[in-house]
Amino acid sequence: MRPQRTSPARGVPPPDAPTTAPPTVPSAVTAPAGTAKPRPGRRPALLAAPAVLVALCLLSLAVGSRAIPLDQVTGALLHPGSPGADGEVEAIVRQTRLTRTLVAVLTGAALGLAGAVMQGLTRNPLADPGLLGVSAGASFGVVVATGPLGLTALPVSLWFAFGGAALAALVVHVLGSRGSGGASPVKLALAGVATTSLLDSLTSGIALTDPEALDRYRYWSAGSLTGHDGGELLTVLPFLAAGALLALGTAPALDSLALGDDVALGLGRRLGLIRVRAALAITLLTGASVALTGPIVFVGLVVPHLVRAVVGPGHRLLLPASALLAPCLVLAADIAGRVVARPQEIDVSLICAFLGAPFFIALVRRRRLAEL
C-alpha cells in the first residue's frame, strides 16, 4: 500500500490500516505470482503441446464420413494438383476439412484465452465466457442482426455480436456483484445463467415468429464448425488477433491482480485500465468466435484449469498455454463427434458440454469455494 500523505498523527494508524495488510502479503511479495508454484517437473510436457496440436490437425483433415489416408492428406496439402492425385480427395481436404480445422483451432484458441483472462480478472475459478452469459449476449446480437434486421452478412453481424457480448458481460458483472460480499463465484455464475435464459427466451421469441430464421438459428446455435468458407475466417481473423494480443498483454497485470486489489494498487497497477483492457479482450475473442461457430460452452472453463496444473498460476505462461491447448480440446471433440455416430455427426458443442459439465461438477464438489 502506498503511504498516504494525509495520514493522521504518528502512532494513530489510518482507519483502514488493518485491512490493507493481510497476512498473506509478505510471502506473496517474496514469491511473485508468475513463479508462485513452479513445477519444473511438469513443464516440459508443455513442449509436446504444439506437436499434439499438429497431429490433431492432421487427424482432423483425415477423419470423417470418408476416411483419407495421411499420405494423401499431406500430398493434397503440400502438392496440390500434382499428377496422379485424386481431385475429390483434394477438394475434401483443401476446402471442407481445412476450413473446418482452422475454424476449430481459432475458436478453441479464442475461447481458451477468453476463459483464462476471465478467471484471472474475476479471480473466479468458475469463469467461462459461456457460463457467464457473454456467449449468450453475442448470440443474441447475431440473431437480432440476422433475424428482424435482415443483416445476414458476417461483417455486420460481427459488430452486433461484439455489442451483445459487451452488454451481457456488463449486466452479468453488475448483477453478480450486487449485495454484500461483492462478486462471489456463485453469484456471478447465477447472474450468468439468469442473463443467458433471458436472452435465450428473447431469441426463441424471434425465431418462433420467423421460420427461416429458426432454420438458420437452430444449426448455428448448436455450435457447429461446419458450413464456413475461407472468407468468413479472414473477416474474423483480425478481430481474433487483436483480442489475443490484448489478452496476452494483460498477463503481467493479471498476475498483480491475483494478489488482491490492494496489493495490485500498491504495485502501481491501474485497476480500471486493466479491467477495461481485459474486458475488451474477452469481448473481442468471445464475440468473434460466437459469430463464427455459435456458442460453445465449458472450453474456456476446463482448459485454464488443466493448464494451471502444469504451468502453475502465473498468467505469462498460462495464457499462451491455454491458447495452445484449447484448440487441441476442440479438435479432439470435433473428431470424436465425427467418429462416434458415423455417418451422422455430433456437434462439437454437445461433446464439449458433456465433457465439460462433469468436470465443472467435479470442480465444484472438490473445491472449497467461497460461500455467498
Residues that bind other proteins (CB under 8 A): 126, 130-131, 171, 174-175, 177-181, 185-187, 189-191, 193-195, 197-198, 201-202, 204-205, 207-208, 211, 214-215, 218-219, 221-224, 297-298, 344, 346-347, 349-350, 352-354, 356-358, 360-361, 364-365, 369, 371-372
Residue 372 Cβ vs other proteins, minimum distance, rounded to whole Å: 6
* CB of 173 or CB of 315, closer to other proteins: 173
194 versus 336: smaller Cβ distance to other proteins: 194
CB of 182 to other proteins, least distance (A): 9
Instruction: Extract the C-alpha cell encoding 187.
Output: 453469484
The nearest distance, CB 295 to other proteins, in angstroms, is 9
CB of residue 31 to other proteins, shortest distance in Å:
30
Q: Residue 34 carries which DSSP code?
A: G
Q: Are 213 and 147 in contact (CB under 8 A)?
A: yes
Residue with smaller CB distance to other proteins, 34 or 356: 356
Tell which residue, 249, 251, 267, has the closest CA to residue 316: 251
Separation in Å, CA 154 to CA 95, 110, 168, 289: 19, 18, 20, 12
Q: Which is nearer to other proteins, 248 or 369 (CB)?
A: 369
Residue 104 Cβ vs other proteins, minimum distance, rounded to whole Å: 17
Q: Report helix, strand or coil for 297.
A: coil
Whichever of 84 and 272 has its CB closer to other proteins, that residue is 272
Name the residue type at position 28.
Answer: A
- Work out how close the CB of 298 gets to other proteins at its nearest, in angstroms, rounded to a whole number: 7
165-166-170-172 Cα dihedral, nearest 10 degrees = 10
Supply the minimum distance, in Å, between the C-beta of residue 179 and other proteins. 1
Taking a C-beta distance cutoff of 8 angstroms, is the pair 250, 292 a contact? no
- Give the span between the Cα atoms of 96 and 94, in whole angstroms: 6
Measured from the CB atom, is 187 or 269 closer to other proteins?
A: 187
User: What does the DSSP assignment read for 226-251?
Assistant: -S--HHHHHHHHHHHHHHHHHHHHTH
C-alpha–C-alpha distance, residues 91 and 95, integer Å: 5
Q: Which of residues 30 and 344 has its CB atom nearest to other proteins in the complex?
A: 344
